[in-house]
Amino acid sequence: MKIFAIICLFAISAFAWPWSSDKKSAAVDSAMIQDSLKREEFKNLQREVDALTRIRLQKADSLEKLEAEHWRKRYNETQLTEEHQVETRELDGRYSKLSTDLGRVNEEVQASKDLTTDAEEKAKSDESSYDNFNTQVKLAVEKSIGEVTGDYPVGMNERLLNLKKAQNDVDAKSPNTHAAMRAYIEDLLTRHELTYTQSAGAIHSQVGSRPDVNVNRLRLGTVFLGEVATDGSADGLGEVQALLRSGALQGKIFEWNNTLPAELAAGIRTAVNDVNSGAESATASNATVKIPLDVLQNKAVKNSISDTKELTFKEELQAFFKKGGIVMYPLMLVAIFALLLSLERFLLLTYRGRIGNRFLKKIHDLVSAKRYEDAANLCLKKESSLSMVLFAVLNKAGEKRGIAEKSLQEALLREQPKLERRMGLLAAMGSIAPLLGLLGTVTGIITLFNVITEVGTNDARVLAGGISEALVTTETGLIIAIPVMILHGLLSEKIEKVTSELYVQSTSLLNKIFPKDES
């Protein structure tokens, strides 16, 4: 507005100035104009002041409103702050309570975890212990099954069936260890009951090679079991057999013996028949009878009551061979081969190593007569090492001594290996025999200890008997090796003798043909 008023004033002055004639009026006009301008400016200023006042008032109102709003908000904020503080205090209390509860819950959870871990470990330990126990029961049952076949034969079928059922129980997907253990203990009790009880009665049995024979049986624990056939065998008296402890190396603990001496057989027959007939009284002649009781549980009773008979040489040899086991077969082959080899070497040395005095006399007579060709032809008629060596010298009689010596050396080198052939193999046979015997002994002792481990023994005689059987192969190996080494020594000595004679006779003939050295 100010600028517009100033522009209007200048415009008026511009239009008025050229036509004014009076400077005074111009000054008045100028003053009036200035006054008008100032008034106008004042008005403008007044208007601006009014506007500013209005603006100020508006601003003041706005400020008051803002101030009121600020204080209202401040009040609200205070209220909110107080409410927040109250809620914060409540939340802090709740948080503190929840923290305490959470800590307690965490402790309970950790305790539960610890209890769960302990329970799992205990469960695993119990499961492992159960598995170990089940394995131990399984091994015990399997061991019992393996021992039953070599144990006391009474009730063997029932024991095998019960133990086989127990084995199936422990091998099942869900093992029934309790039932298997009960069956195992019942089997032990059954076997224990056999040891301390006695029984008598009629039964079907096998006597010798005859099956399903009606017999009367008397059992006294596990130390005596006798049977008497009721089929009229043994001249109508009934064949008698007793179950005896064998003590065999192969683990056959018990075996039947029906070759008892007549006196013992009669005593067993009387005792068994009296018990089974239920006789309440006996005559004076059979008031007391003798029966073989294996109290020591060894094979001494068997040896004392067996009906001994003299064996032929062939039977003794077969029994001896059987004791040695499978190693006796290679030992037999070594013995046969060494014998054949020794015989072949002896015949060859006898044939090719012979030295005839008449033959040597003829050769020297022909050489003295300078009939070298006839002497050579005579050597060709004899197939011996000496004739071949002498022929080599006579064949070069017309040559120089050096050539004859070379021919002689070649002949000696050809004949000596023929005489010594296969002597190293014969010596090897003499060394192999005791080694095979030792192998058989070691194998037998291993078998013995395996049997002792499986079935056990309370008899030192069984151990000594098993070792003695194992030593049979060593004895056999030495029996073979000693003669073979003696034969090897004798043949070696004969070879040395023949070789030495070859050198002596050939050198003597060479010196006779070539009395002087020739260049």
Quick: pLDDT tens for 17-52: 444 456 677 777 777 778 777 788 778 888 888 888
Secondary-structure breakdown of the chain: helix, strand, coil percentages, each rounded to the nearest 5: 75, 5, 20
Beta bridge partners, 228, equal: 216, 240
Provide DSSP, 147-174.
HHTTS--TTHHHHHHHHHHHHHHHHSSS
Residue 401: CA count within 13 A, CB half-sphere: 12
Q: Highest mean pLDDT range out of 152-161, 212-221, 444-453, 481-490?
A: 481-490
Average pLDDT value for residue range 401-430: 83
Q: For residue 56, give both structure tokens.
A: 């100020």
Give me the residue label for tokens 């005074």.
Answer: 24
Q: For residue 258, give both structure tokens.
A: 């029906």
Between 122-126, 280-284, 300-304, 497-501, the lowest mean confidence (pLDDT) is in 280-284
Average pLDDT value for residue range 437-452: 80
What pLDDT, in 10s, does the model give residues 303-357?
Answer: 555 544 556 777 777 777 777 778 888 899 999 999 999 998 888 888 777 777 7
| pLDDT above 90: residue 379 | no
CB neighbours of 58 closer than 8 A, spacing ≥ 6? none
**How many CB atoms neighbour CB 253 within 10 A?**
22
| End-to-end Cα distance, the chain | 168
Reference 500, options 512, 508, 489; nearest CA is 508
Average pLDDT value for residue range 454-479: 70
Which residue type is seen at 132? N
| pLDDT above 60: residue 112 | yes
Extended strands (E) in 208-296: 210-220, 224-229, 240-245, 254-257
105 against 470, higher pLDDT: 105
Q: Is 382 helix (H, G, I), strand (E, B) or coil?
A: coil
Reference 386, options 370, 398, 487, 378; nearest CA is 378
Reference 161, options 134, 190, 137, 132; nearest CA is 190
Phi/psi for 242 (5° steps) reads: -130, 145
| pLDDT above 50: residue 280 | no
Reference 170, options 199, 149, 150, 140; nearest CA is 140
pLDDT given at position 518: 47
pLDDT given at position 301: 47
Report how far residue 231's alpha carbon sits from residue 62's, in angstroms, rounded to the nearest whole number: 144
| pLDDT above 80: residue 395 | no
| pLDDT above 90: residue 482 | yes
- Rounded to 10 degrees, what is the CA torsion of 58, 64, 68, 73? 70
The order of strands in the sheet holding 240-245 is: 198-207, 210-220, 224-229, 240-245, 254-257
| pLDDT above 60: residue 500 | yes
pLDDT given at position 292: 64
Reference 159, options 183, 177, 134; nearest CA is 183
Report how far residue 200's alpha carbon sits from residue 268's, in angstroms, rounded to the nearest whole number: 13
Which residue type is seen at 416? Q
Report how far residue 271's alpha carbon sits from residue 269's, in angstroms, rounded to the nearest whole number: 6
Q: What single DSSP character describes residue 296?
A: T
Q: Is 201 helix (H, G, I), strand (E, B) or coil?
A: strand
Give me the residue label for tokens 């020739």.
Answer: 518
pLDDT given at position 333: 92
pLDDT given at position 20: 45
What pLDDT, in 10s, does the model give residues 55-90?
Answer: 878 877 887 888 888 888 888 888 888 888 888 888
399 against 335, higher pLDDT: 335
pLDDT given at position 450: 73
Reference 476, options 343, 326, 315; nearest CA is 326
What pLDDT, in 10s, does the model give residues 124-135?
Answer: 888 888 888 888
Q: What is the mean pLDDT of the chain?
A: 78
Spatial contact of 322 and 330, defined as CB atoms under 8 Å apart: no
Q: For residue 217, give both structure tokens.
A: 């049986």
Percent of the chain with pLDDT over 70: 83
pLDDT given at position 7: 59
pLDDT given at position 519: 40
What's the alpha-carbon Rg for the chain, to the nearest Å?
66
301 against 218, higher pLDDT: 218
- Rounded to 10 degrees, what is the CA torsion of 146, 152, 157, 158? -100
Report how far residue 406's alpha carbon sits from residue 393's, in angstroms, rounded to the nearest whole number: 9
Spatial contact of 436 and 327, defined as CB atoms under 8 Å apart: yes
Average pLDDT value for residue range 264-276: 81
